[in-house]
Amino acid sequence: MSGSAFDFRDVVYAYRSQRALDGVSFSIGLGERVALLGANGSGKSTLLRMMDALVFAVGGTALALGGPLTEAAFAEEATNFAFRQRVGLVFQNPDVQLFNPTVLDELAFGPLQLGWDTARVRRAIDAMLDRFGITHLRDRSPHRLSGGEKKRVAIASVLITEPDVLLLDEPTAALDPESRADLVAFLSHGLREGQTVITAIHDLDIIDHISDRSIVLDRGKVAADAPTLDVLHDIDLLRRTHLVFEHRHSHGIAAAALHGHLHAAPDGGATT
C-alpha cells in the first residue's frame, strides 16, 4: 500500500507552559508497523492522541492521510467523519473506551454510527466475536469482564469498522501473562495485511514482534527513528532515554565482584 499515513514537521504541543511535543518530525507510510517508545512523560501518548485528532499541534505542520490535522479542518463534519472511518484508537485503559450495556452493543456502536445497514452490522459482529474468541461474552456487560477480556472487546470494537490505521496506547498494560501473550500473538499475525499499526509502548520485550520500525521519544523530542532491531541493540540509546536501567548486585556472599545487568523499565521510568 502506497501513500502516507502521517507527516509531522516540527510539531509542537504544550500543556499550559510545558511542551509535551517539542519540534517532532517524521513520516509514516501506509502499511507500516511502528512502535512509539519512550519513558513516562516522553510525549508518546500525546503524540498518539494527536494522530487520532483528539488534540492538535500549536506549532509546526501535521498531516494525516494527506490532509491537514488541524482543529479547523476537523470542525468540518465531512472531514471528521471520513477520518473516523479510516483511523481507530484503542486507549490504554479499556474502561475509558467501553460504555455500552453489553459487548454486542459495544461492537455494534461504531458500524451504526457509520451508517452500515443492519445485515452488514450483524455479519461484522459475528465475525469479530469469532475472531477474538468472545462469542460467549456477547450479552455480558463490558465492565464485568476481566482485564484481558475488556482489552479484546476494546480492540474488536475498533477493528470492526475496518480502519486503515490502528493506533494502540500501551496495549499490554495491566494484562496477566496469558492475556498478554494472546494479544501479542494477535498483533503479530492476526491483523489485516497492509493495515498501518502504530503502538505507543515501553514494553521492550515485545516490540520486535509487533513493529518493524521504532520512533523513540525523549522529553518531547525524537531521540531516534530506526528499524526496531537496531533500536533494541542500541544500549546507550535505551539507557539515555530511560527505557532500560542497570541494576548492580552480587550473586551470594561468596561472590567476589558485582555484576551489572540491564533491565527494561517496568513502568516506563528508570533507575540508574
Q: Backbone phi, then psi, for 11, in 5-degree steps? A: -75, 135
The stretches in the chain having pLDDT less than 70 are 1-2, 246-272
> Cell numbers of 23, please?
519540534
Per the rule left: phi > 0, alpha: psi between -120 and 50, beta: everything else, 220 is left
Q: What is the model's pLDDT at position 1?
A: 53
Contact in structure between 118 and 93 (CB atoms under 8 Å) = no
Q: What is the model's pLDDT at position 267?
A: 52
Instruction: Write down the residue that cell numbers 477480556 correspond to.
Output: 149
Strands 59-64 and 33-37 come out as unpaired
Q: What is the model's pLDDT at position 70?
A: 96
Q: Backbone phi, then psi, for 17, in 5-degree steps? A: -95, 0
Q: What is the model's pLDDT at position 176?
A: 85
**Minimal CA–CA distance to 209: which of 187, 176, 233?**
187
Cα dist. 111→116, 193, 207 in Å?
Answer: 6, 21, 30
Q: What is the model's pLDDT at position 31?
A: 95
The 3-state secondary structure of 6-56 reads: EEEEEEEEEECCEEEEEEEEEEEECCCEEEEECCCCCCHHHHHHHHCCCCC
**Minimal CA–CA distance to 24: which of 71, 57, 67?**
57
Q: What is the model's pLDDT at position 16?
A: 83
The model's pLDDT over 208-253, given as tens digits with 9 standing for 90+, comes to 999 999 999 999 999 999 999 999 999 999 999 999 876 555 555 4
Taking domain 4-264, whether its CATH number is 3.40.50.300 is answered by yes
